[in-house]
Chain A
């Protein structure tokens, strides 16, 4: 018994070593996922940020057809990278609404002129209030909302070419 106990500290060390080394090879995932997936979209009404482009209210997602809700900003670099993919989704007939985080009209206008405009409407969220109520922790993020205002999926980060199928699948599943 005593002989065995002698090995206990060493066993403890080996255990700790394994934990640390496995952490080195598989770093923890630090993305903060929204806990709102599967729940209803919170109620909100955001004013328009551009003349001629409507603002965005949560009622827009109650029309019976799934839509994408894109959280973006003109000052966000990955949003530029994502723009062509959003244009592609738009050309496939996917309706996309947007929430502009901490932004101004002229900056958004410039952004859309440079990168294309895939949005049916853009809501102006100057103090990230709606973003926080969605459980979104950065830009860009995209939510798939079904026709009754339920959040079906959250995509964190820019949408890349390889993400398009999963987004289309989520939209299809939400029909």
Chain B
């Protein structure tokens, strides 16, 4: 029975969740101008792939990540600044789309916690050094 199931599994055709269409023009092609490509690349590694949420769009093979790379490159090539492209995406998807979250009410804990930890650490260290000297 197990062997039969295994054989059947071998025969089964995979279900594709992606389209069969070729990637968008600028999805996997670098921009001609190396300076612009560097800017686009730096932005792409900080943007979240929305389908494969642990990856950046620069890392992902998903169709949608390809289309997002094409969008970023197109806008950078048209002379738009990386910040404005990021803002455009945040306006549509919220802060979740960027791996470089802005400082606001929700993210305050995220940005301030490390500072708090360092302060606590310094306080602890001060206490223990004092004791040793005395």
Query: Which of B19, B70, B91, B96 is A75 in contact with, Cβ under 8 Å?
Result: B19
Chain B residues with CB below 8 A from A129, complex form: 67, 71
Chain B residues with CB below 8 A from A77, complex form: 15, 17
A103 to B19, CA, bound (A): 7
B21 A103 Cβ-Cβ under 8 A: yes
A34 to B70, CA, bound (A): 20
B49 to chain A, nearest CB (A): 10
Chain A residues with CB below 8 A from B33, complex form: none
Chain A residues with CB below 8 A from B97, complex form: 32
Residues B100-125 near A (CB distance < 8 A): none
A73 B19 Cβ-Cβ under 8 A: yes
Chain B, residue nearest A107 (CB): B20
Instruction: Determine if A6 is an interface residue (Cβ-Cβ < 8 Å).
Output: no
Instruction: Determine if A30 is an interface residue (Cβ-Cβ < 8 Å).
Output: yes
B92 A132 Cβ-Cβ under 8 A: yes
Chain A residues with CB below 8 A from B89, complex form: 132
Residues A63-81 near B (CB distance < 8 A): 73, 75-77
A54 to chain B, nearest CB (A): 22
B3 to chain A, nearest CB (A): 29
Chain B, residue nearest A103 (CB): B19
A35 B15 Cβ-Cβ under 8 A: no
What sequence of 0s and 1s flags, for each residue 4-31 of chain B, a beta carbon within 8 Å of any chain A beta carbon? 0000000000011111110011000000
A35 B71 Cβ-Cβ under 8 A: no
A137 to B68, CA, bound (A): 11
A109 to chain B, nearest CB (A): 15
Instruction: Determine if B99 is an interface residue (Cβ-Cβ < 8 Å).
Output: no
Instruction: Determine if A58 is an interface residue (Cβ-Cβ < 8 Å).
Output: no
Chain A, residue nearest B20 (CB): A75
Instruction: Determine if B45 is an interface residue (Cβ-Cβ < 8 Å).
Output: no
Instruction: Determine if A99 is an interface residue (Cβ-Cβ < 8 Å).
Output: no
B64 A137 Cβ-Cβ under 8 A: yes
User: With A32-B94, A102-B19, A135-B93 given, can you name 20 additional A-B contacts, CB distance below 8 Å?
Assistant: A32-B53, A32-B93, A33-B94, A34-B92, A35-B90, A35-B91, A35-B92, A35-B94, A75-B17, A76-B17, A77-B17, A103-B19, A104-B21, A107-B20, A126-B21, A126-B24, A127-B24, A127-B70, A128-B64, A138-B50
